[in-house]
Amino acid sequence: MIKSKMHRNGRKFNIDCKRCKRLSKFLKDIKVEYPDYHCAPVAPFGPDDARLLIVGLAPGMHGANATGRPFTGEHGFSNQPFSENSDDNLKLENCRITNAVKCLPPANKPMGEEVSNCSDYLVDDIIKVPEGGVILALGKIAHDAVIKALNLRLVDFKFSHGNLHLLEGRSLTLVDSYHCSRYNTQTKRLTTLMFSNIFKSVLTVFKGRTSDG
C-alpha cells in the first residue's frame, strides 16, 4: 500500500475547453460531417458522490461523441444494453463514469500531451470519490492517467486485468480491467465472464470496507 501524494487542485469540467488544438480541430471537422453529433468534451455521468468511479479512455466516435453521454450510442449499460439517447432519463446510482480524455481523439488514440491536458479534470473526478471508494480503470491508458493524477509512480502500480491496488491516504482501491471495447470483446480478450468478475471484485472491496468499519 503506497500513500497517495495528490495535492493538486482539480478543474471543473468545461464543455468549451479547447486546450488540445489537434482534438478541437478534429471535433470541428467531425461536426461538419455529422452536424447532429455532440462533438464537444463529454461530461462525467452519474452522481458526484458515487462510491464507484469508472474511468474509460475517451468518447467513441458514434457513441459518447454523438450523444454527449458516456456509454450511450454504440454501447450501453447492463440494464439497458442498447442505450442510444442521452434523454432517456437513465440515472446511475452510486456510480459515476468519466474518461481520461474528454474529447474524441483521431483513431481513438490520444497523445500523451492530451491525456495530461485532461488530468486536472480527472483529479476533480477523483477528489469527489468518498473514502473507501473504488476507481475502476478501463484499460492501461485510463490506469496510467489515474496514477499520474494521484501523483504516484507508474512503476509501483503495474496494469494487469484484475489487479487491485490499495491507495493509502483516502482508502481508495484502484481496480484494473481491459477496456470493454468492441475490439477486445470480439477478439475475446475481454469476455462477459471476465468483465462480470471485475465487478464482483468491486463488490468484494465494498463488502470488506463495510466489515472493517
Give the span between the Cα atoms of 126 and 123, in whole angstroms: 5
Q: Is 11 within a domain?
A: no
- Residue 2 pLDDT: 41
Number of domains in the chain: 1
According to DSSP, residue 10 is labeled: P
Nearest Cα residue to 118 out of 23, 2, 6, 7? 23
Point out which residues pair with 96 in neighbouring strands. Answer: 53
Give the span between the Cα atoms of 21 and 51, in whole angstroms: 34
Q: Is 189 within a domain?
A: yes
Tell me the pLDDT of the chain (213 aa) as tens digits: 344 455 567 899 999 999 999 999 999 999 999 999 999 999 999 999 999 999 999 999 998 999 999 988 765 444 455 566 677 778 889 999 999 999 999 999 999 999 999 999 999 999 999 999 999 999 999 999 999 999 999 999 999 999 999 986 668 999 999 998 888 988 999 999 999 999 999 999 998 866 555
Give the span between the Cα atoms of 192 and 131, in whole angstroms: 29
Q: Is 200 within a domain?
A: yes
Q: Is 133 within a domain?
A: yes
**105-123 pLDDT per residue, tens:** 999 999 999 999 999 999 9
Point out which residues pair with 176 in neighbouring strands. Answer: 137
Q: Is 5 within a domain?
A: no
Identify the CATH number of the domain in which residue 193 sits.
Answer: 3.40.470.10
**8-34 pLDDT per residue, tens:** 678 999 999 999 999 999 999 999 999
Range(s) of the domain holding residue 63: 16-212
Give the span between the Cα atoms of 113 and 89, in whole angstroms: 35
- Residue 182 pLDDT: 84
| The three cell numbers locating residue 24 | 478541437
| The three cell numbers locating residue 161 | 486485468
Q: Is 4 within a domain?
A: no
